[in-house]
Amino acid sequence: MPNYQALSKATHGNKRWLRTTSYAFAQKDALLPLSLAELPKAVMSLPVAFIQRDDGFIPVAVMSIQPDRNHFITNDGRWLHGYIPASCRAYPFRFFNTPEGQKILCIDQDSGLVCEGTDGEPFFDEAGEPTQAIREILNFLHQSDQSLKATQLACNLLKQHNLIKPWPIKLKTETGEKNIEGLFQIDEAAVNQLSAEALLDVRNSGGLLIAYCQLLSMQHLSILGQLAQAHAKADQAAAEAANDIAQNGELKMEFLNKSETLSFSGF
């Protein structure tokens, strides 16, 4: 579990931080939130759906056909394919709200990226002010936060005009057909039936962009099944290797010659 703490001179003045080189922190994230600003890039490689949040909907990248699993990340933390959502690129930093409604910059203390000594980058300069790198992170998170707010407003309009409907998904896997529930999609027929006034209302909010991006992204749904199969093969190879060690006290390396077993290329 992440352990986010507010960034402060008292706690982090003499410490440094490392930029992440692994996405292992997101290996259990089957869904990742997306904002209006990043949707045009995300839909080029990721399937996008809506999920219910409070009384509305938010767009998310669908990363897996299994709960608590991200098929776009290898067991050693490499990102396999396509666009990396902003929430992952900001790690180990994120905003949290204070009871007064202010946003404070926090860092995951258990990320392994907070350190002492000379490695990494300082949080604060000699004058006690945030370094340029930290200011850039603050700006990135601020822009992401503003885009998420705009996204929520646009999604509220999509809901208001009844443009979001359940998305029943069936994927074929090696163990049979799998039903995925709890996801929603744009009702294209309802979009086409909007009045000119309603269409303008949705377009001006950014909702029309969200709608078309979601519909376009649905072509990538099949990649989830392909990635699931690749992960299953890699897991099986690792289990066989571990079994060899347990039974014989040594690791047989023949499985490494089966390139198809551990290959995630081509997706």
b/e per residue 45-61 (b: at least 16 CB within 10 A):
bbbbbbeeeeebbbbbb
Find the DSSP H helices in 30-131.
39-42, 86-89
Residue 203 is part of which domain span? Answer: 4-220
Tally of structural domains, the chain: 1
The answer to whether 103 and 4 are in contact (CB under 8 A) is: no
Over residues 107-161, the pLDDT tens digits come to: 999 999 999 888 999 999 989 999 999 999 999 999 999 999 999 999 999 999 9
* 243 in any annotated domain: no
* 257 in any annotated domain: no
* 44 in any annotated domain: yes
pLDDT recorded at residue 241: 60
pLDDT recorded at residue 167: 93
pLDDT recorded at residue 248: 63
* 265 in any annotated domain: no
pLDDT recorded at residue 54: 86
pLDDT recorded at residue 35: 96
Q: What pTM did the predictor assign?
A: 0.82
* 167 in any annotated domain: yes
* 76 in any annotated domain: yes
Per-state percent for the chain, helix, strand, coil, to nearest 5: 40, 20, 40
Reading across the β-sheet that carries 114-115, which strands appear in turn?
114-115, 16-17, 121-122
pLDDT recorded at residue 101: 82
* 151 in any annotated domain: yes
* 255 in any annotated domain: no
What is the residue-level pLDDT of the chain in tens, covering all 267 positions? Answer: 789 999 999 999 999 999 998 999 999 999 999 999 999 999 999 999 999 998 899 999 999 888 888 999 988 899 988 899 999 999 999 999 888 888 999 999 999 999 988 899 999 998 999 999 999 999 999 999 999 999 999 999 999 999 999 998 877 666 677 778 899 999 999 999 999 999 999 999 999 999 999 999 999 988 887 887 777 777 666 666 656 655 665 545 454 444 433 333 333
The answer to whether 158 and 211 are in contact (CB under 8 A) is: yes
